[in-house]
A = this chain, B = another copy of it.
Amino acid sequence: MGPWRIEFLSGSKDKSATRRENLRERLLDAAEVVIGDKGLSALKARDLAERAGCALGAIYTAFHDLDELILQVNARTLSQLEQALATPHEVPKKKKELRRLALGYLHYARANEPRWRALFEHRMPPGKPLPNWYADERSRLFMLLEAPLARLLPHGDAESRRLKARMLFSAVHGITVLGLEEKLAPTPEAALDGQLSDFMDIFLRGLNDGG
């Protein structure tokens, strides 16, 4: 606990630390713009350096490699998504709430498609596993559905509710992914919304009637 205190009091390493933090932010902001605009595949180290106003090599003083930077951008996307889906308060109509979450997911994906796609397109180089902090971030998405589902399913143990939540999220994700895939012969927005809404009806009806 000593080091930061000494730095704070003396100001010794402080400036360089905040400069580095500044650079990280500038790089993340620039990367966010590129990924949000043209998608993950448009992210190029040289372009990024130019946008952030730093040298090419400076990227690697702020991040170990581009993968680390991309994961940070994805983490930002995940919290944006979480905020977009945030449940206002306690909700009386529980089914409605689950439908709202599913449609919210679809709407966020549609409105931020390249950013949202980056969450699933990005692959670590072989041998390097996802860092734990990132896996944790992602699992928060599932937990977002777990709470409303748990209220809807007072029967069953916590584990089976967790699995059902995951199942539901996966199905909604699949319908979203394939629904947004085809740019040609495009499914009209309202039609896809309707399909996802129908799906929620079907799924929730099936859940209830089965116990």
A interface residues (Cβ-Cβ under 8 A, vs B):
38, 41-42, 121, 123, 126, 129-130, 135, 163, 166-167, 169-179, 182-184, 195, 198-199, 201-207, 209-210
Contacts and interface: CB of A to CB of B under 8 A. Distances in A.
A101 to B, nearest CB: 15
A175 B178 contact: no
25 contacts: A38-B126, A41-B123, A41-B126, A135-B182, A163-B195, A167-B175, A167-B195, A169-B178, A170-B177, A171-B172, A171-B175, A173-B174, A173-B177, A173-B178, A174-B176, A174-B177, A177-B177, A202-B203, A202-B206, A202-B207, A203-B203, A203-B206, A205-B206, A206-B206, A206-B209
A170 B163 contact: no
Given A129-B183, A206-B201, A206-B203, A170 B178 contact: yes
